[in-house]
Amino acid sequence: MTDLGIVMPVYKQKPAFLEAAMNSVLKQTFRDYKLVVVIDGAPEMEPLVRGLLGGDRRAEVISHAFNQGVAAALNTGFKALLGKPEIKYLTWVSTDNVYYPRFLDTLRSALAKGPRELGLVYSSFQSIDDEGRPLNSEQHLAVQRQYQSQPKEKLLDSSIVGVSFMYKACYAAMTDGYGMAPVEDYDYWLKLTEHCEIKFLPVELMDYRVDSAFSVSASLRTAEQHRKWRYAYHLTRHQARMRRGIAPAVTILYPLAESGPQAVERIENLYEQTFSNYLCYVLDLSPDMRVTADLSRISHPVTDFKWFPGANAATALLHAAQMLQTPYGYVLGPKLFKDAMDMNVLYDQLEKAPPSALSDYYTDDRTQLGYRHELASAGHAVYDELYRRQALVDSLKTIRAQSGDAT
């Protein structure tokens, strides 16, 4: 009985890449599957697709009249497969990747032999260039395997699943399909794994072609395109936390009297952090809301703007800090994060620290973390430190009192 279904969405693609991808699927050691190829508004590709399929009875071709995007193509293909009660396992493949002969067999066996609650399995993969040359050494692959082997909860921080995967149809039927372009796969994993468990297989089962001409990654090269991707990436994590009832852990406060290249660079730098379980409030100190007008152009799903016309930074910070609902607060200062994991490290270490540690921060040479055990005073800024909420409020009050600022 055919219990495995595969979807291949097809838009524009180099014929040689499509041929390599299609042949690698057709020549799998596990052969009893149903393949649905969805041509997404690219009728010029249909003759090539049908020629490569060669009348294979396992394959069905569906054509969209116009291009609707990867998510819509996947939903079309999986709708056809989920309508077949015998289909128990699902995956999808890209037109520029190459799948090793035991790709299907290995993933399907892991699902079939696993417990009922196991719904998604995924493996490591090799990255290749347009010439098919491998890009990762064994050392790099070992690091990648370690990264992908993180527990399920880490999916809320990043897409550890990658590009080699298979999941059970019964859990797929519990989701509302693919969406949230261009992070439709990551959004799907977050929705799917609200119903099932996951398992990583530390073996490479495919070649992932990096930045090929018609890939999604190749379409995200401009700053504006990257911003749209980043917005969707943050939004899908924020929505997943809301569905699961996970409250934000950190509130970031960013007081600004004026906007400019440095302010833009700093907020972009924040948005590139892997840590995402925060709320961000830009405290606009300008008289005409110029800061709000300029920085709101860089969209972010959890950033809001509070206008404090004529106030100084200390007054605005104290007012905002007293309204915090999160366990931690962070006042964004001029120092850029040097690494995308900086906020993760600060948060993880302060969570582990004893209550006597009021804040943590990177030392000037960035060789280690420092901890503050006393409230900050007028001689010490509160910027660029992760504080426990009440410690931040008390430090701001102390600084304001010592500076004699009553404005």
Residue 221, Cβ neighbours under 10 Å: how many? 9
Q: How far apart are CA 370 and CA 358, in angstroms?
A: 11
Q: How far apart are CA 72 and CA 78, in angstroms?
A: 10
* Planar angle of CA 228, 232, 235, nearest 5 degrees: 135
DSSP 209: E
Q: How far apart are CA 13 and CA 67, in angstroms?
A: 14
Q: How far apart are CA 61 and CA 16, in angstroms?
A: 19
SS3 49: helix
The answer, yes or no, to whether residue 399 has pLDDT greater than 90, is no
Question: What is the chain's alpha carbon radius of gyration, rounded to the nearest angstrom?
Answer: 25
Residue 397, Cβ neighbours under 10 Å: how many? 14
pTM: 0.92
pLDDT, position 249 = 98
Residue 123, Cβ neighbours under 10 Å: how many? 25
Q: What is the pLDDT of residues 179-235, one digit of tens each?
A: 999 999 999 999 999 999 999 999 999 999 997 666 565 555 788 999 999 999 999
Phi/psi for 372 (5° steps) reads -100, 130
**Torsion (CA) 336, 340, 343, 349 in degrees, nearest 10:** -120
Q: What is the pLDDT of residues 363-380, one digit of tens each?
A: 988 789 999 999 877 666
pLDDT, position 407 = 43
Element (H, E) at 90: strand 89-92
Task: List domains and CATH numbers for the chain.
Answer: 4-220 (3.90.550.10), 247-403 (3.90.550.10)
Q: How far apart are CA 264 and CA 281, in angstroms?
A: 14
Q: What is the pLDDT of residues 123-166, one digit of tens each?
A: 999 999 999 999 999 999 999 999 999 999 999 999 999 999 99
Q: CB–CB of 82/169 below 8 Å?
A: yes
